[in-house]
Structure 1
Amino acid sequence: MNRTTMFTRGTWSIVLVLMLFLSACSSRRYTAKPNASAVKAAEAMSHLKSKQLYRFITDWTGVQYRLGGLDKRGIDCSGFALLLQKDIYGNSLPRRSRDQADVVKEKGIGSLNEGDLIFFSFGGGAVDHVGVYLNNNFFVHASTTRGVVVDDLSIPAYQKAIVKAGTLKK
Structure 2
Amino acid sequence: MMKTLYFFSPKRSYTWIVLVFVLTLASCSSRKHVVKTDTKAARAAEVMANLKSKELYRFITDWTGVSYKLGGLDKRGIDCSGFALLLEKNIYGLSLPRRSKDQAEAVKKKNINKLEEGDLIFFSFGGNEVDHVGVYLNNDFFVHASTTRGVIVDDLTLPVYQKAIVKTGTLK
Q: Given the two structures, how large is their TM-score scaled by the length of structure 2? A: 0.78
Counting matched residue pairs gives 141
**Residue 136 in structure 1 maps to residue 139 in structure 2:** yes
**Residue 89 in structure 1 maps to residue 92 in structure 2:** yes
Which residue number corresponds to residue 120 of structure 1?
Answer: 123
Which residue number corresponds to residue 44 of structure 2?
Answer: 41
Identical amino acids, percent of aligned pairs: 76
Q: Which has the larger radius of gyration?
A: 2
2:154 pairs with one of 151, 154, 157 = 151
Q: CA deviation at 1:131?
A: 0.1
Q: CA deviation at 1:34?
A: 6.7
2:106 pairs with one of 103, 106, 119 = 103
* Distance of aligned partners of 1:32 and 1:144 in 2 relative to their CA distance in 1, 3 Å threshold: farther
Contact 2:37 2:43 survives alignment (8 Å): no
* Distance of aligned partners of 1:48 and 1:32 in 2 relative to their CA distance in 1, 3 Å threshold: closer
Moved over 4 A (4+): 30-35
Partner Cα distance (2:61, 2:91) in 1: 13
Amino acid at match of 1:154: T
Contact 2:107 2:170 survives alignment (8 Å): yes
| Structure 2 unmatched ranges of 5 or more | 1-32
RMSD: 1.7
Please state whether the residue corresponding to 2:145 is helix, strand or coil. Answer: strand
